[in-house]
Amino acid sequence: MTNNEISGTVHGHVLQAGVVHGGVHIGGPGPEVTVEKLRRTGALLDRPIDDCDPVRDLRVHRPVQAADLPLFPPYVARTVDADLDRAVAGGGFVVVEGNSAAGKTRTAWEAGRTDVLLLATLRSETRRMIGGDDRYHQMARSAQYLLATARTIRLARDLDQDERRAARRRQADSRIAAALADRTGAGLAEHLAAAPEVLVHRRAGRDGEHEVGAALVSAAVDCHRVGYSSPVARGVLALFPVYLEPRLRHRLRRPNLDEAFEWATTPVHGASSCLQPEADDRFSAFDYLVDQTQAAPRSRTRRGGCCSTATKRIPGRFRSR
């Protein structure tokens, strides 16, 4: 299993069960990456899924926490489960595609407890990017070749009638009951991950609650949007001032970055945070924020500071222009 993304191939979780022999090529033509190296760096987890931590290893979004309730609410059956089970039983490469916080990884986790050769998740925004954006031509070609070998299962963001009935049978868990009562338009998995609240938290930071923390988040989001899918080093994000208004840039000569990172990494309702801490003092933007930013009208990346530094680390053939 690879952590969240394979740059140049599939953006999403990749769960692998069984044994891999020989070399593995990541991102199209280039030096061979051995299985042992992937294991050593933690990029490949080929132990049984039941031995993996769903949040740390599989990147299931941490749900809202509530007193006297387990970490995860009970699984709400999805209509695609039967198709997914059949695809998994048939072996080969299976992709669960859907919007960020649609419930892809939880659904894949439940299905992956049986024998499966390769199971991945893919955000719909990434599918669109590799499907027709000339800026990603080389990356798209290798990704499309890989995806052509996969059986793709599409997971909708919103529950259908059968899924809502299944959710009502699980509403003894107050988090599911609250999601069903929600009238904001958020999907079940979005609500459980506190995704809309994280978006509000980011906006509040921009509006004065913590401008520096919000600027760090914007920097991480834009690094991802220009094609740098790996966790971003703290030192790179420290080039955040381009995301501050000029009046703040001149006033904040020595901002408290420890405090800013604490604000950005604090889970909202015990669930997701704007920035996800990673190993080696690196951080990833919450993928829901990346998708929401990408979908916003007149959304543009700031071509300076963090983005320029991150872009230099992306192979030229995969770089957004």
Cα gap 250→241, rounded to integer Å:
10
- On the question of pLDDT at 114 being above 70, the answer is no
- On the question of pLDDT at 175 being above 60, the answer is yes
Question: Residue 266 — pLDDT band, cuts 50, 70, 90?
Answer: very high
- AA letter at 317: R
Lowest mean pLDDT among 10-19, 139-148, 212-221, 259-268: 10-19
DSSP letter for each residue of 277-297? EEGGGEEEE-HHHHHHHHHST
pLDDT, average across residues 262-267:
98
Q: Computed over its alpha carbons, how large is the radius of gyration of the chain?
A: 20
Higher pLDDT, 84 or 37: 84
- On the question of pLDDT at 44 being above 70, the answer is no
Amino acid 194: pLDDT: 96
Amino acid 302: pLDDT: 63
pLDDT digits (tens, 9 = 90+) for 279-300: 889 999 999 999 999 887 666 6
How many residues belong to the chain?
321
Q: Please say whether the dihedral angle defined by the alpha carbons of residues 301, 306, 308 and 311, taken in this order, is positive or negative.
A: negative
Amino acid 137: pLDDT: 52
Amino acid 139: pLDDT: 53
Cα gap 106→250, rounded to integer Å:
45
Cα gap 55→32, rounded to integer Å:
29
Question: Residue 126 — pLDDT band, cuts 50, 70, 90?
Answer: low
pLDDT digits (tens, 9 = 90+) for 53-92: 888 888 889 999 988 899 999 999 999 999 999 988 887 7
Chain centroid to CA 148: how far? 22
The token pair that represents 234 in the structure block:
């703290």
Cα gap 130→97, rounded to integer Å:
13
Q: Which residues pair with 282 in a beta bridge?
A: 233, 278
Count other C-beta atoms under 10 Å from residue 318's C-beta: 20
pLDDT, average across residues 156-181:
96
Higher pLDDT, 80 or 305: 80
The pairing of strands 118-123 and 33-34 is unpaired
| 295 Cβ contact partners less than 8 Å away, ≥ 6 residues apart | 125
Q: What is the pTM of this model?
A: 0.75
DSSP letter for each residue of 189-218? HHHHTTHHHHHHHHHHIIIII-HHHHHHHH
Share above pLDDT 70 across residues of the chain, in percent, rounded to a whole number: 69
pLDDT digits (tens, 9 = 90+) for 158-168: 999 999 999 99
Question: Residue 42 — pLDDT band, cuts 50, 70, 90?
Answer: low
Lowest mean pLDDT among 17-26, 75-84, 123-132: 17-26
For the chain, the average pLDDT equals 78
Cα gap 57→188, rounded to integer Å:
22
Q: For residue 119, what is the DSSP state?
A: E
pLDDT digits (tens, 9 = 90+) for 213-242: 999 999 999 888 887 778 888 988 888 888
Cα gap 189→106, rounded to integer Å:
9
* Alpha helix (H) residue ranges in the chain: 35-41, 81-90, 104-111, 124-132, 137-147, 161-168, 174-181, 188-192, 195-204, 211-225, 234-237, 246-251, 257-265, 287-295, 306-311
pLDDT, average across residues 180-205:
94
Strand (E) or helix (H) holding 98: strand 93-98
Rounded-to-5 percentages of helix, strand, coil across the chain = 45, 10, 40
pLDDT, average across residues 21-35:
48
